[in-house]
Amino acid sequence: MQYDRLYHRDIRKTIDGKLVVCYLLLVLTGLLNIYASVHAMGELTFVNAFESRAMKQLVWMLASVAVAALILLVINPQLWEVISLPSYAIVVMMLVAVIFVGGDIKGSNSWFKLGAVSFQPAEISKITTSLVLAALINRPDFRLSKIRDFIIAAAVIVVPMLIIIAEKETGSALVYLGFVFVLYREGLSGWFLFCITVMILLFILTLTASPYVSALVLCSIVTFCYHLANGKVKRWVLTAVPVIASAAFVPKLFSAAGETSFLSRIQPLWIIIGPVLISLPIKAFKAFRRKSLSAWISIISVVAGILVILSTDFVFNKVLKDHQRSRIEVLLGMKEDPTGVGYNVNQSLIAIGSGGFTGKGYLNGTQTAYGFVPEQSTDFIFCTVGEEWGFVGCVAVIGLYVFLIWGIIRDAEQSRSAFTRVYGYCVASIIFMHLFINVGMTVGLMPVIGIPLPLLSYGGSSLLSFTIMIFIFLALDRQEKRYF
């Protein structure tokens, strides 16, 4: 009974009202823009009202608010930790099952069809993965620095991710990379984040510039870190920098030497890899004698980096599918293709760019209204915002997201239970990844990856799962504030 009494007494104090308002604003913005992006398809009449996407979304929105209230006010928040493991197991099984029985929607096998409604287990999987990760880290004996615990935590994230890749939903799988931020917050070494960043950088450099440049950058990063760790930055500037700078001119030498020269028979890349391979055993011997950890790490990083560079070509041409490869090529400017793959991005940029500072006004957008921007009410909903509300509207929407993510992290940090904190970071990271990938895609900073903008994009399954995700956190947060 105490539970009810508290609920009646403290509702305004215990619920983070600012985040609820932020949530509602985003959903309403979504609704308005979905209407804007479909209204020109045909005038709305009473008969077709329920056929319209805006109307459907309104129904979903009401359902989501009801579910949100249920989670926030009725369900005991302690339930979530209890059901985390079983729900995770069930969802993983559903993820596998959907590959075999799922309907094929837009080239991926990730949808369950139940009559008129279809839903994606991958959406729920984000919640269950977050819950189980939170429960795992909340265990008193859990230490991320222990290899065993680290591997378990990594497995919890990677297993659903791999299954989703098998479902050909690369975009959703990419979101799981966001969990790295959670692990970082919970004590994962910053070097891990750094290494992932460097690997991505090397991959992109190898594709856009050349393996040679990539190897050169790798060498400079590793030597810099090694000297930094030993406090000899000055020496690095004096020795490594001139060597690397002069090595940068080697390819010029090659092109100057012409095709008949013997130089043309060897690739410039081997000029770097050759000496590195020869000097590695010597360095390793020295490291062994001096028992220098930083030297060992440098050696391992160089080997790993070179492996990344050498495998880039293989991954890019053999592992990635044709459409993924061409999207990356267009993004990196390796291929101009405004009518093919680049078409979406080009149209999206025209829509957003034509909005200018204040936009063309609500329902006055022409680019989105004519159906030139594909998937305009789902993945490209941000175009409608950009065109009709302009730069001001875009900044406002991004501001709302930043406010939401910031608020979640703040609440998470304030909670005493690790479960709430970790779960909060998971929610924040997932929303962040969606925001970055989706908006990045519409403004041409990211390749075209089909994932929705949380709460704004059309789609009931997406809206509902984000609502559940956010409100579980708000419920957990409320519980914290109530009992402590």
Partner 1 sequence: MELSRRNKLLTGLCVTAAILVGRLFYVQIINDRYKLDSSNNSMLYDVIYPTRGIIYDRNGHILAGNKVAYDILVTPREVTEFDTLALASALDVSPDFIREKMQGYRKRKSRIGYQSVVMMKMLPPERYMKFAELQYKFPGFKGQVRSMREYPFNAGGNLLGYVSEVDEDYMEKHPGEYKPRDYAGKTGLEAAREKDLRGEKGYHILLRNSHNQVQDVYKNGEMDKDAVPGKNIVTTIDAQLQQYGQMLMQNKVGSLVAIEPSTGEILTMVSSPGIDVDVLSNIGEHYTQIVSDPYKPMFNRAVQASYPPGSVFKLINGLIGLEEGVLQPSYTYPCVNGYPYGNGHKLGCHGHRSPLDFEDAVMMSCNGYFCYVFKNILENKKYQNTSEAFDRWREYVTSFGLGEKLGSDFPFELGGNVPTSKYYNKIYGKNGWRFSTVISLSIGQGELGITPLQIANICAILANRGYYYTPHLVKDSEGIEIDSKYHERNYTKVDTNHFKKVINGMWLAVNAPPGTGNTAGAAAVPGLDLCGKTGTAQNPRGADNSVFICFAPRDNPRIAVAAYVENAGFGATWACPIASLLVEKYLTGEIREERKAVESRIMEAYLMSRVKKD
Smaller CB distance to partner 1: residue 78 or 366? 366
Using CB under 8 A, which residues numbered 31 to 50 contact partner 1? Answer: 40
> What is the pattern of x (binds partner 1, CB under 8 A) and - over residues 410-449?
---x------------------x---x--xx--xxx----
**Residue with tokens 């837009």, as numbered in its chain:** 106
**Residue with tokens 């659903």, as numbered in its chain:** 160
CB of 395 to partner 1, least distance (A): 6
Using CB under 8 A as the binding rule, whether residue 201 contacts partner 1 is answered as no
Paired tokens of 69: 């209230």
What is the DSSP code (8-state) at residue 73?
Answer: I
Alpha carbons 132 and 144: distance in angstroms, whole number: 15
Alpha carbons 249 and 216: distance in angstroms, whole number: 11
Smaller CB distance to partner 1: residue 418 or 443? 443
Q: Residues 34, 53: contact at Cβ < 8 Å?
A: yes
Stretch that binds partner 1, among 146-154, 301-309, 311-319, 351-359 (CB under 8 A): 351-359
Stretch that binds partner 1, among 59-67, 218-226, 316-324, 392-400 (CB under 8 A): 392-400
Which amino acid is residue 18, in one-letter code? K
Using CB under 8 A, which residues numbered 294 to 313 contact partner 1? Answer: none
Helix ranges, 70-120 (H): 78-101
Paired tokens of 238: 């004096």
> What is the pattern of x (binds partner 1, CB under 8 A) and - over residues 360-389?
---xxxxx-xx-x-------------x---
Q: Which of 185, 325, 327, 434 binds partner 1 (CB under 8 A)?
A: 185
Helix ranges, 332-459 (H): 342-355, 381-414, 418-442
Closest CA to 34 of 305, 295, 383: 383
Q: Which of 17, 86, 275, 353 binds partner 1 (CB under 8 A)?
A: 353
Using CB under 8 A as the binding rule, whether residue 342 contacts partner 1 is answered as no
Closest CA to 32 of 435, 389, 354, 338: 389
Q: Which of 33, 326, 347, 465 binds partner 1 (CB under 8 A)?
A: 347
Question: Helix and strand tally (H, E) in the chain?
Answer: 19, 3
User: Would you tell me which residues interact with partner 1 (CB under 8 A)?
Assistant: 40, 181, 184-185, 338, 346-347, 349-350, 352-357, 363-367, 369-370, 372, 386, 390-391, 394-395, 398-399, 401-402, 405-406, 409, 413, 432, 436, 439-440, 443-445
